[in-house]
């Protein structure tokens, strides 16, 4: 009998028939055997059901949940609600994992007495070619506050739900926002990390993240960019009221960088009379950043924040494509 703790591994799927077999094969083949594999079908209309039902017929660890199409946040929330494991992790249906993915994550939890464990990802295209190489960090064990700060900076520790193993009680009362069409993970992970006392990390690339050129997060239409703005502001609101002053500067600077990126995408891809309400909401939100001196956010961001807040028409012309 396997006495190791049960890990609930949640896989949200939507029309993923072309990648699902590879994903499920990598999950059922884990060297860590005590798994509860929760497949949440978010109203798929393709042949994915045939694939996951075939896997389910030969592997009793697989649990199938079905819902009307409601988005990945609802699917993840449904998976968490159904999970009975002591630990929870996520795998996206178009990605796949190495055989020791769960074993390595759990060993980090066990050996370091951590609440969250992290492994790195290989960022690949559909053909398996590496498209991005993330810098390697020398740090491997963090107290909860340090890990949260790094998550909010979104570089050493990034805000993807996958590639991590969480103590289940950290996740159960956290909801992924079902009102956001994308970037829901960015506005959720900090709530989980805020409850962690200790976080352990390995540089082993055990998760294969497949970057599709057509995905929402990599094809930022003005409307999608605005969804990212909403997620960014959730992070800022959290940090603004919970972080001590000495921690705010690097986080705020990173948030302003992202906001300006989002704003540029919207302004460059809309006419002046399009998305007027959204542009005004963004402009008004910049008022919160007027309080930060040059020494905290740098001259460039200090100038651009004021330019758009006080002179939006001039700023729009300034950053418009030639």
Q: What is the dihedral of CA 3, 121, 221, 269, to 10 degrees?
A: 150
Residue 65 contacts residue 38 (beta carbons within 8 Å): yes
Residues forming beta bridges with residue 206, ordered by sequence position: none
What are the boundaries of each domain within the chain?
7-216, 220-319
Residue 277 is encoded by which pair of tokens?
């309400």
190-224 pLDDT per residue, tens:
999 999 999 999 999 999 999 866 554 456 789 99
Give the model confidence (pLDDT) of 83-97 as tens digits: 999 999 999 999 999
For residues 40-66, average pLDDT? 97
- What is the pLDDT at residue 247? 65
What stretches of 140-244 show up as alpha helix (H) in DSSP?
144-153, 168-171, 189-193, 222-242
CATH superfamily ID and name for 7-216: Spore Coat Polysaccharide Biosynthesis Protein SpsA; Chain A (3.90.550.10)
Residues in CB range of 223: below 8 A, 6 or more apart: 275
Distance of CA 113 to the CA centre of its chain: 24
Tokens of 276: 């007027």
Say if residue 61's pLDDT is above 70. Answer: yes
Inter-residue contact 159 to 192 (CB < 8 Å) = no
Per residue in 48-57, pLDDT (tens digit) is 999 999 999 9
The pLDDT confidence band at residue 235, using thresholds 50, 70 and 90, is: confident
**For residue 61, what are its two tokens?**
């660890």
Whether 245 shows a pLDDT value over 60: the answer reads: no
Q: What confidence score (pLDDT) does residue 186 get?
A: 85
């Amino acid at each position: 009998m396997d006495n190791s703790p049960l890990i609930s591994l949640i896989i949200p799927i939507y029309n993923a028939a072309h990648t699902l077999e590879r994903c499920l094969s990598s999950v059922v083949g884990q060297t860590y055997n005590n798994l509860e594999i929760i497949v949440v079908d978010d109203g798929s209309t393709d042949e994915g059901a045939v694939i996951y039902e075939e896997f389910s017929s030969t592997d009793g660890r697989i649990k199938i949940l079905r819902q009307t199409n409601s988005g990945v946040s609802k699917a993840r929330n449904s998976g968490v609600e159904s999970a009975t494991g002591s630990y929870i992790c996520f795998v996206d249906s178009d990605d796949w994992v190495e055989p020791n993915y769960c074993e390595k994550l759990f060993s980090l939890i066990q050996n370091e007495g951590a609440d969250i464990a992290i492994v790195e990802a290989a960022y690949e295209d559909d053909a398996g070619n590496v498209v991005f190489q993330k810098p390697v960090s020398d740090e491997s064990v963090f107290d909860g506050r340090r890990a949260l700060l790094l998550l909010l900076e979104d570089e050493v520790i990034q805000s993807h739900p996958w590639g991590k193993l969480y103590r289940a009680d950290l996740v159960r009362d956290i909801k992924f926002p079902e009102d956001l069409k994308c970037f829901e993970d960015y506005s959720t992970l900090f709530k989980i990390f805020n409850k962690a006392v200790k976080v352990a990390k390995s540089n082993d690339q055990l998760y294969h993240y497949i970057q599709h050129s057509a995905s929402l997060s990599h094809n930022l239409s003005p409307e999608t960019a605005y969804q990212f703005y909403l997620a960014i502001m959730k992070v800022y609101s959290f940090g603004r009221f919970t972080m001590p002053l000495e921690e705010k500067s690097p986080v705020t600077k990173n948030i302003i960088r992202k906001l300006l990126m989002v704003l540029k995408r919207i302004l460059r891809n809309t006419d002046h009379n399009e998305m007027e309400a959204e542009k005004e909401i963004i402009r008004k939100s910049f008022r919160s950043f007027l309080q930060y001196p040059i020494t905290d956010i740098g001259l460039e961001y200090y100038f651009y924040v004021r330019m758009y807040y006080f002179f939006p028409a001039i700023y729009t012309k300034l950053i418009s494509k030639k």
